[in-house]
Amino acid sequence: MLLTITNTNPPATDLGYLLHKNPSRVQTFELSFGKAHVFYPEATADRCTAALLLDVDPVGLVRTRRGPAGEGGMLDQYVNDRPYVASSFMSVAIARIFNSALAGTSKGRPELVNTPLPLSARIAVLPCRGGEAFLRRLFEPLGYQVKAEHHPLDEKFPEWGESSYYTVEIAKQVSLQDLLTHLYVLIPVLDADKHYWVGKDEVEKLLRHGEGWLQAHPEREAIVSRYLRGFRKLTREALARLTEDESLDPDAEQETKEEQEQAIEAPLRLHDVRLDQVAAELKASGAKRILDLGCGEGKLIRELLKDRQFDEILGMDVSYRSLETAAERLHLDTLPPKQKERIKLIQGSLMYRDKRLAGFDAAVVVEVIEHLDEPRLAAFERVLFEFARPQTAVLTTPNAEYNAKFETLPAGQFRHRDHRFEWTREQFQNWATRIGTKFGYSVVFKPVGEEDQRLGAPTQMGVFRL
């Protein structure tokens, strides 16, 4: 099974930096279902193609299967199309082997990560249940040009008719991250096979990878229902194998970036000051049930636990890895039951309405909004202020004006590589005031950390009240 990705933007070999795979090398990776090879059939300044070749081992697949035989019995287990077509295996391989590119990070070419490039992807064999029309309905609304070549079941027996297999090429001026994300979600949707694996957090994974495009996609319902197909057939085998995919959390590099931000802010002990001040606001509001949205590694939760006023704390984050660290640092598995009952950690995205967030007295969103794409803030605003609708909401974000005071931070750069924006006080206050008016909240602004007369404080805080 072969997927190739071609860049024609000179120097086209920058594709190697974006994929974190050197064009001059052939690399092989072991996966639980076989091997994957990455190599470049062409790598010139004008045109560079990376190939991901999957060598699925059908016998190995059957041997490691612990559950009962599949619907088709033994024959179906050994004789099937899995080794030859793009399927959810391809998505697992993309997530595993191109994980930094899928997460939108590049050490060598950070400036290219969000740049639309003239890219095309070719999938040698893709089963398209629903035919070419459905294939086009999936990719064309996203702006792709689609070429599809249909294959007969058997060239020697045309009377057998057409198969569901296509050679597919899609092309668009698009960032590599978006291209990989679309392939990651839509390949298994087209394949819609019963061998499809789904894991406990597959819903969250779909929502995370669907951020920014799935919501508005005209085939949204078909995509979601097909992607989650077989959800009920969750088997131990699927779970065991999916742990592989989980370790491919796109936050693999999050930790180093977090360290970078801490190093810049460390001399101010800003993180502790911020958490103390947020905790004090919550205390003063009288809130008992607290939402910590984008809770990260749970530092605020640890503070809040010390105060009996807070009898329920729900921490949510999009990063599974951060939640695992939070659970460890909070010693969740050894806490006395009474303490443990007060905390719940869930995976979720602030981009989506979520019933689990309703009915809380207060929500805090500490140093999170600057991680959200600015054009998508509107979704977050509704999720928090319209649907979750707590009495009090405390938001903090860096004050960009103060960056001039950080000696180690070059002018014009953000404090954290994952920040999508950093606002001046005026920008934050304009935004917050507009949101307050729109959703019926009053807003008060407070500085966090030592204030500079001219530049203000390093962090800015908005306290919203219904």
User: Is 209 near ligand SAH (CB under 6 A)?
Assistant: no
Under rule CB under 6 A, residue 462 binds ligand SAH: no
Our CB check for ligand SAH shows the closer of 238 and 357 to be 357
Per CB under 6 A, 319 contacts ligand SAH: yes
347 binds ligand SAH (CB under 6 A): no
Contact 17, 117 (CB under 8 A): no
Cα(377)–Cα(351) distance, integer angstroms: 8
Tell me the C-alpha distance between 446 and 465, whole Å. Answer: 14
Q: How many CA atoms lie within 13 A of 118 on its CB side?
A: 8
In the complex, least distance from residue 448 CB atom to ligand SAH, rounded to whole angstroms: 11
The minimum distance between CB 77 and ligand SAH, in angstroms, equals 39
Closest to ligand SAH by CB, 49 vs 349, is: 349
Residue from 105, 322, 397, 399 in contact with ligand SAH (CB under 6 A): 322
- Strands of the sheet containing 459-465, edge to edge, are 343-347, 312-317, 289-293, 362-366, 392-398, 459-465, 442-448
C-alpha to C-alpha distance for 314 and 343, rounded to whole angstroms: 6
Question: Is residue 350 a contact residue for ligand SAH (CB under 6 A)?
Answer: yes
Closer residue to ligand SAH in complex, CB, 229/371 = 371
| Cβ proximity to ligand SAH, 13 vs 349, nearer residue | 349
Smallest distance, Å, CB 373 to ligand SAH? 9
Residue 111 CA to residue 91 CA, distance in Å, equals: 26
Q: How far apart are CA 300 and CA 364, in angstroms?
A: 9
Task: Tell me how far the alpha carbon of residue 12 is from its chain's centroid.
Answer: 26
Q: Which is nearer to ligand SAH, 50 or 365 (CB)?
A: 365
Which residues in the 265-304 window bind ligand SAH by CB under 6 A? 294-296, 299
CA gap 50, 288 in Å, rounded: 54
Tell me the per-residue interface mask from 299 to 318 with ligand SAH, x by CB under 6 A, - otherwise.
x-----------------xx
Q: Which C-beta is closer to ligand SAH: that of 209 or that of 299?
A: 299
Q: How far is the CB of 294 from ligand SAH (least distance, A)?
A: 3
C-alpha–C-alpha distance, residues 461 and 326, integer Å? 24
* Cα→Cα distances 320→44, 124, 297, Å: 39, 33, 10
Under the criterion CB under 6 A, does residue 351 sit at the interface with ligand SAH? yes
**x/- map, 361-390, ligand SAH, by CB under 6 A:** -----xxx--xx------------------
Query: Tokens 């077989």 identify what position?
Result: 230
Q: How far is the CB of 322 from ligand SAH (least distance, A)?
A: 5
| Residues 222/225/228/233 CA torsion (nearest 10 deg) | -130
CB of 105 to ligand SAH, least distance (A): 13
CB nearest ligand SAH: which residue?
296
Using rule CB under 6 A, residue 88 touches ligand SAH: no
DSSP labels, 203-250: HHHHHHHTTTTTTT-TTHHHHHHHHTTTGGG--HHHHHHHHHHHTT-T
Q: Tell me the sheet residues that pair with 32.
A: none
Choice between 94 and 365, CB closer to ligand SAH? 365
Give the interface with ligand SAH as residue ranges (CB under 6 A): 294-296, 299, 317-319, 322, 349-351, 366-368, 371-372
